[in-house]
Amino acid sequence: MKFTAAQIAGLLAGAVEGDPEIEVSSIARIEEGQPGALSFLANPKYTPYIYSTTSSVVIVNRDFVASEPIRATLIRVADAYSAFAQVLRLVEQFQADKKGVSSLAFVSDSSRLGEEIYLGEFVVVGQNAIIGNRSKIYPQVYIGDRCEIGEDVVIHPGAKLYAGTKVGNRSVIHAGCVIGSDGFGFAQQQDQHYEKVPQTGIVVIEEDVEIGANTTIDRATLGSTIIRKGVKLDNLVQIAHNVEVGENTVMAAQTGVSGSTKIGRNCMFGGQVGLAGHISIADGVKLAAQSGVGSSIRETGGIFMGSPAFALSEYKRASVHFKRLDQMAKKIQELEQKIESLNR
């Protein structure tokens, strides 16, 4: 698979500076460039490499100014990082262009399969399930009864979708995800033992969602656990029953959201954030890594840190004193002893 600089520039609405007919057939980091490779420069920290790289073509920002001669052909674009991401998406599409149903897949007679789909080896599709056009289901995926998979969906190996799960168009579910498993619902009885509360709801994943490897999303006790369109969840995220995650919210790895919590739009959570149940988070909230949130946050666009989490500005002021707590405790103890001595 080869492309000329001119073809790539046409795709990215960019301008070629150098040889428009030079070809590339691979992609490389700018510091590891090689002839025939395409690289990009977006972070100024990597600028020195553009003068030494042997990559044939480099995508740069339109306003990039060179201070030395450059051997590579440049493609100038409005945003080099976004443009390179677009190239990577196209490469991924070429590499993953699989179609057909494996003879080793099991498909229920009552299910409905769209056109140009791919079902890999040992995929199981349950009764009355629907798989939309051009969706790709990789080996060992389990799709339970009555699941509805939209168009252009990609489900990677080993993911498990319990009965009734709905997945919107163009969503991606990575390897090992479990979607629609029981919520953690148990009622303590008078004799202190626990009775399981049946979890009868489903999980609804809207369009353009991406769910990282080994993430779990529990189905609702009643109704739906909902992941709104554009949400991006990292690996090892836990979403409990009846949670709702708003549009375009992103969560880093090991974040855990307890049951019935409602999260607004455009939120950003760092790694290992923990949220208590039955609370709400306003739109645009940012939570630093390892923040613990025990009550609702109603301040739109607020930034919070710590456990328990509080406003970032307050946290930074308080953190100045955190490291001195031992000294402060000793000083207080000395003052108490002096006061006691004076009193005597």
Give the catalytic positions in this structure.
Answer: 241
Name the helix (H) or strand (E) containing 251: strand 250-251
Q: Report cis status (omega within 30 of 0) of the bond before 308.
A: yes
The answer to whether 37 and 31 have CB atoms below 8 angstroms apart is: no
SS3 135: coil
Q: How far apart are CA 142 and CA 10, in angstroms?
A: 41
DSSP state of 288: -
Q: CB atoms < 10 A from the CB of 134, how many?
A: 18
Q: How far apart are CA 291 and CA 27, in angstroms?
A: 37
Q: How far apart are CA 258 and CA 80, in angstroms?
A: 39
Give, in order, the Cα–Cα distances in Å from 41 to each of 44, 76, 226. 8, 10, 38
Say which residues have a Cβ less than 8 Å from residue 223's Cβ, sequence separation at least 6. 201, 242
SS3 240: coil
Q: How far apart are CA 161 and CA 167, in angstroms?
A: 10
Q: CB atoms < 10 A from the CB of 260, how many?
A: 18
Closest by CA to 142, choosing from 181, 114, 109, 183, is 181
